[in-house]
Homo-oligomer: A and B are copies of this chain.
Amino acid sequence: AGSLWLYRWYYSNLCQRVLGFTIFLILALAFVEFPSSFTRTADVRYRSQPWQPPCGLTETIEALCMLVFLVDLSVKGYLVGQAQLQENLWLLSYFVVLVVSMVDWIISLSLACGEPLRVRRLLRPFFLLQNSSMMKKTLKCIRWSLPEMASVGLLLTIHLCLFTIFGMLLFSIGEKDETQNKERLAYFRNLPEALTSLLILLTTSNNPDVMIPAYIQNRAYALFFISFTLIGSLFLMNLLTAIIYNQFRGYLMKSLQTSLFRRRLGARAAYEVLVSTAGLAGATPEAVGVNPENFLRVLQKTQLHSDHKQAIMQKVHSYEGRPMLADEFQKLFDEVDKGVIKEHPPMPQYQSPFLQSAQFIFSHHYFDYLGNLIALGNLVSICVFLVLDSNLMPGERDDFALGILDHVFVLYYLLEVLLKVFALGLRGYLSYRSNVFDGLLTIVLLVLEISALAVYRLPNSRWKPDHYGPLSLWDMTQLVNTMIVFRFLRIIPNVKPIAVVASTILGLIQNLRAFGGILVVAYYVFAIAGINLFRGLIVPPGNGSLVLNNRSALCGSFEQLNYWSNNFDDFAAALITLWNVMVVNNWQVFLDAYRRYSGPWSIVYFLLWWLVSSVIWINLFLALLLENFLHRWDPQSYKQLLVGTRQ
């Protein structure tokens, strides 16, 4: 009974939330720790000295977090039991990671935070990983598809090598006139250079450029590059997508089947328990089954969503008190799968016929349409002013009309909120999510407008509000006004085909948590590794001659493109740099710059990141998306599959 209580306590909402918050906290520490990310810009030329936390501050928080993890580990270990503990690799490595982190923490403190390498930072994402079963499953799925991916990888390598050799021979052919061998000098200078050029062409990142020098000499050379891209990018890279999708399709299906099977097993076990207690009273063969009253009493104590509970109870009542058979008992729990249609509170009753007709008008959905129309008008007015102002300098603009219009629109939004509250009642109004958003937006807008009025007085002709501070009140008002843009999103559910697509995206986001987690882990590990490898390597050009230096840099180079802020000097900057490499476009600039600043081996880091993020993760994401969409659009065959396993 004690361990059952512990189990219940451990899996209670509070406990899991504390654990989740701890994980979030220890991960977020990376922004604060040395090198901290608290600067306005990440550009090495303009960056100020960031605030650094004193030694011991982040370490204390870390110690607290590790204490929580220690408790978590011991509870989990106790619940799993001694015998299974030794076989559970995840728990064992959890233990190892905790021990290593603690040893590293002690070393860190004893060196007064001056240690050169903090191993525990690299290990932190493990805490996130081990806490989510979905992420563990996804990792397993990736591991299963690795052999097939390796075979495509091998094909890709062969493809790359063959074309490299072929290309080098091809471009060395017409080489006797030294003026014309630009191609060889530019992209096929030597073997590693040629390999890198074609590898980047595989991601199409240097597409027209790499073929230009050869193509200028002879049209036919274009065929070499086109066939390389066709085979490599179109066939082999998409093959990776197919492989991952194929592996993943079965995986999601199996995981769904498993969870359904577990639930049915649980329901059956509950049935057996409940039957046996009923059987004690005095069983006739006809009366075998679960007594509804017993069941309802048990149901009250379970942790189910109240709407689902309600639905199950209604169904139980429909059996009119006779004992339920196993099949009926199972069917009860199908209610959990059904979507709950939220009922809105009743509208307030007014006596006067005038009020009643007003209520009818303002609760009608045409009134919503009118609101959307006004929001659209607001949007259009903003656009018009943007177009009118685009050629004027900020000092020359006339903000009078825009100021007046803003006031008018805010007044209308306020009126709309009040009328809707009158028509639906406050609780009815708040039961719609779109209304909550509108209401909040209106209130924030109102507060800002009123304070703007208090500061700048009423707008008048040639009226110019002062702009002071980095983000003045006027700017703030404008910014919140742009939020009106999002009001526009309310239109989406009104258009049928868009609504289907949008609802699928929303449904997808829920399934996305595990994938997001894996992406977070990958980003974290690579960012920390990148900080350790490349911190401080990107140095600003000699000061004083900033502009000149910029001009003299080669076109398309890191320096000319002003990529100075894409460095690994702190955690936030590293994340953005990794994002830019993940998007792949122009990543050859990063490869080239880091080769120059830190050495030729930096290419390994970027290649690994490209493989993990762009090749594996993006394909995984596409697979998830395809899977979700196909299920949503073809639920028939999907249900059939689940039924098929039941038999």
Q: Hey, which bits of chain A sit against chain B, CB under 8 A?
A: 37, 39-43, 46, 147-148, 150-152, 154-155, 158, 162, 165-166, 168-170, 172-176, 178, 181, 189-191, 204-209, 212-213, 215-219, 222, 226, 229, 233-235, 238-239, 241-243, 245-246, 249, 379, 382-383, 386-387, 389-391, 393-394, 467, 470-471, 475, 478-479, 481-482, 485-486, 488-489, 492, 495, 497-498, 500-502, 504-505, 508, 555-556, 560-566, 572-573, 576, 579-580, 583-586, 589, 618, 621-622, 625-626, 629-630, 633-634
A488 touches B162 (CB 8 A): yes
Q: Which residue of B lies closest to A40 (CB)?
A: B218
A589 and B212 CA atoms in complex are apart in Å by 14
Partner of A585, one of B169, B190, B208, B234: B208
A217 and B191 CA atoms in complex are apart in Å by 40
Partner of A166, one of B239, B485, B501, B580: B485
Scoring A174, A216, A579 by chain B CB atoms within 10 A of each residue's CB, the highest score goes to: A216
With a cutoff of 8 Å between Cβ atoms, the chain B residues found around residue A626 in the complex are 241-242, 245, 626
- A498/B151 contact (C-beta < 8 A), A41-B219, A390-B189, A626-B242 known: yes
A618 and B233 CA atoms in complex are apart in Å by 11
B585 touches A205 (CB 8 A): yes
B383 touches A238 (CB 8 A): no
With a cutoff of 8 Å between Cβ atoms, the chain B residues found around residue A572 in the complex are 219
Interface of A: prevailing SS = helix
With a cutoff of 8 Å between Cβ atoms, the chain B residues found around residue A218 in the complex are 40-41
With a cutoff of 8 Å between Cβ atoms, the chain B residues found around residue A475 in the complex are 173-174
With a cutoff of 8 Å between Cβ atoms, the chain B residues found around residue A563 in the complex are 208, 212
A151 touches B209 (CB 8 A): no
Partner of A209, one of B189, B500, B561, B630: B561
- 13 cross-chain CB contacts under 8 A: A40-B217, A158-B489, A168-B386, A169-B481, A170-B479, A170-B482, A172-B386, A172-B389, A191-B383, A208-B583, A226-B576, A238-B625, A242-B625
B208 touches A165 (CB 8 A): no
A178 touches B222 (CB 8 A): no
A482 and B162 CA atoms in complex are apart in Å by 9
- A208/B566 contact (C-beta < 8 A), A147-B497, A498-B155, A585-B585 known: yes
Q: Which residue of B lies closest to A163 (CB)?
A: B485
- A165/B583 contact (C-beta < 8 A), A189-B390, A215-B42 known: no
Q: Which residue of B lies closest to A387 (CB)?
A: B191
B470 touches A206 (CB 8 A): no
A622 and B242 CA atoms in complex are apart in Å by 8
CB distance from A593 to the nearest CB of B (A): 12
Q: Which residue of B lies closest to A37 (CB)?
A: B219
- A386/B165 contact (C-beta < 8 A), A479-B173, A565-B216 known: yes
With a cutoff of 8 Å between Cβ atoms, the chain B residues found around residue A470 in the complex are 174
CB distance from A443 to the nearest CB of B (A): 20
Partner of A239, one of B39, B505, B562, B580: B505
A470 and B485 CA atoms in complex are apart in Å by 63
With a cutoff of 8 Å between Cβ atoms, the chain B residues found around residue A206 in the complex are 585
CB distance from A581 to the nearest CB of B (A): 9
CB distance from A189 to the nearest CB of B (A): 7
With a cutoff of 8 Å between Cβ atoms, the chain B residues found around residue A560 in the complex are 555
Apart from the given pairs A154-B498, A165-B383, A246-B630, 20 other A-B contacts in the complex at a CB distance below 8 Å: A41-B215, A150-B497, A151-B495, A151-B500, A155-B502, A158-B489, A162-B486, A162-B488, A165-B379, A168-B386, A178-B394, A190-B387, A204-B585, A207-B580, A208-B566, A208-B589, A219-B576, A229-B583, A234-B618, A556-B556
A152 and B498 CA atoms in complex are apart in Å by 7
A584 touches B215 (CB 8 A): no
Q: Which residue of B lies closest to A229 (CB)?
A: B583
With a cutoff of 8 Å between Cβ atoms, the chain B residues found around residue A492 in the complex are 155, 158
With a cutoff of 8 Å between Cβ atoms, the chain B residues found around residue A622 in the complex are 238, 241
With a cutoff of 8 Å between Cβ atoms, the chain B residues found around residue A498 in the complex are 151, 154-155
Q: Which residue of B lies closest to A630 (CB)?
A: B246
